Amino acid sequence: NAGVMQNPRHLVRRRGQEARLRCSPMKGHSHVYWYRQLPEEGLKFMVYLQKENIIDESGMPKERFSAEFPKEGPSILRIQQVVRGDSAAYFCASSPTRQYNEQFFGPGTRLTVL
């Protein structure tokens, strides 16, 4: 059973460009979570999605950031008009159920904004 897959693993963007990060949850998992980790920091919750629904996006900046989890295909975290402060590691996690969560994390996408 493959784990959570994220791609790309490393992404370099210039200021003002768009970044698209992809996450494929573990097989059988329908709940996806995105977290951001700044250097020397712990992970910070961004958004929680189920198939075709955003459940909680309270940790996501209101502007430039969006997330989706379509019926088919991976979950996408999209950052428009990136700025240097967006440079971070973005982790996706998945779980089969909300209760007594054991969230399984992907390897992360390291975004560098030049």
Partner 1 sequence: SQQGEEDPQALSIQEGENATMNCSYKTSINNLQWYRQNSGRGLVHLILIRSNEREKHSGRLRVTLDTSKKSSSLLITASRAADTASYFCATDAGSGGSNYKLTFGKGTLLTVNP
x-or-dash pattern for partner 1, window 19-58, by CB under 8 A?
------------x-x-x----xxxxxx--x------xx-x
DSSP secondary structure string, 22-77? EEEPPTT--EEEEEEE-TTS-EEEEEEEETTEEEE-TTS-SSSEEEE--SSS-EEE
Query: Of 38, 37, 86, 76, whose CA–CA distance to 54 is shortest?
Result: 76
Candidates 7, 17, 105, 112; binder of partner 1 (CB under 8 A) is: 105
Candidates 59, 74, 76, 96; binder of partner 1 (CB under 8 A) is: 59
Candidates 34, 65, 95, 113; binder of partner 1 (CB under 8 A) is: 95
Query: Of 58, 1, 61, whose CA–CA distance to 25 is shortest?
Result: 1
User: Which contiguous run of DSSP H or E holds residue 92?
Assistant: strand 88-95
- Does residue number 90 form part of the binding site for partner 1 (CB under 8 A)? no
# of chain residues touching partner 1 (CB under 8 A): 28
- The residues of the shown chain that bind partner 1, judged by CB under 8 A, are 31, 33, 35, 40-45, 48, 55-56, 58-59, 91, 95, 98-108, 110
